[in-house]
Structure formats: C-alpha cells, structure tokens
Amino acid sequence: MNKPTTKELQMVRDLLTYIGEDPDREGLLETPARFLKAWSEYTRGYREKPEEILKSFEDGAERVDEMVIVRDIPVYSLCEHHLAPFFGRAHVGYVPDKRILGLSKISRLVEIFGRRLQVQERLTNQIADALDENLQPLGVAVVIECRHMCMESRGVRHTGTSTVTSALRGSIKANADTRREFLSLIGR
C-alpha cells in the first residue's frame, strides 16, 4: 500500500467529523491512516487476478474423475450497498477433466472475489465461473453461507440469520446424483 495522501487522510477526518467525532482527539489521531490501511486490505481483491492463481496441471490428475471439494473456506466481504461486513464460509467443488488445481488455489480464489465490494449472489457465481472458465472441469459447485451485518446490525436486526447461495455448472448441475453427492459431502 502506498502512503496515504493528504486528501485521502482528510476524507477520513471528514467522515469522523460527519458522525460527530473530533478527529483531533488523541485516540483518533492515527485513525485515518489505520482506516485507509485496513480498507486497502479489505479490498485487495481488486488488485488480484483469478487467472494468475488458477494454474492447473496434469501431473497427479491421472485417473482422477471424482469430485474434489474444499469445505469451510472462510469468507470475509463487504456489502456493496451499506459497506457493512458479511462473513461465513464457502464450499467449493469440481469434477476434474484431466487437470487439477493446487487445493490452496481454491481458497485463494474465494479470497480474491470476497475482498471486493460484493453481493453474495454475485460472489458465488464469480467463483464458479472463474473455476469453470480457467480449469474447464466436468462440473463445478459453489455453496456460500454468510451472516450479513447490514441485516443484523441495522434495519430488521435479525441476528444469527444466514444467507445460503449456490452456483452449479456442468455435470454437477445436470446430474442429480452428482449434485446430491456434493451436497452430502459438504453436510447439507
């Protein structure tokens, strides 16, 4: 991250003033710089490209035609409507077609799209589409379960509710048995 400009720091100071705070108060003196550093981290997905991490390989893929699943991947994102956090977990699976990925690449893919302003529905589809386009597997499945602070801490204030979204591609969408297998393996 580059050093924040005077203008960027002033924007955060203005926000503090807007909410009724004194940006010159001792506890807030370094807040503008810390805030900008944190937001750079929260939104680093804009600076990363999925295709750069989704390098696949044939070595190890011999006779692999069964589902590969990475479950319980942490998801941290920001609602694009309120800039409020939403968080939960993703379950991502694919059926290889002669090529496989390093397992950490699936988690990194979730992280790249999660670290952008999002709606959960788009996030789910972006992960599935990136896997489908870059790996060209026989099938892809993504299920994401998240709690949304825009719903829990404001508005209706229904705490503890979760939103579940799914995106299915190829054989996992077309074949009911394969779809059931995926859902069973992720515990749904």
pTM for the full model?
0.93
Residue 1 in domain? no
Rounded to 10 deg, the angle between the 31-42 and 6-18 helix axes is 100
CA distance 141 to 45: 21
Domain that holds residue 179: 51-185
Read off the amino acid at residue 128.
A
Q: What is the CATH number of the domain that holds 35?
A: 1.10.286.10
Catalytic annotation, pick one of 91, 111, 120, 181: 120
**Which residues partner with 87 through β-bridges?**
76, 147
**Residue 65 confidence (pLDDT):** 78
Q: CA triplet 162, 126, 79: central angle to 5 degrees?
A: 45
Residue 88 in domain? yes
Cβ atoms 75, 87 nearer than 8 A: yes
Is 82 part of the annotated catalytic residue set? yes
CA distance 27 to 23: 9
Co-location of 122 and 143 in the same domain: yes
Catalytic annotation, pick one of 118, 126, 145, 148: 148
Is 80 part of the annotated catalytic residue set? yes
Co-location of 66 and 134 in the same domain: yes
Catalytic annotation, pick one of 21, 82, 136, 152: 82
Read off the amino acid at residue 131.
L
Co-location of 29 and 89 in the same domain: no
pLDDT tens digits, the chain, 188 residues: what are they? 689 999 999 999 999 999 999 999 999 999 999 999 999 999 999 999 999 999 888 877 777 778 999 999 999 999 999 999 999 999 999 999 989 999 999 999 999 999 999 999 999 999 999 999 999 999 999 999 999 999 889 888 888 899 999 999 999 999 999 999 999 999 98
Q: What is the CATH number of the domain that holds 135?
A: 3.30.1130.10
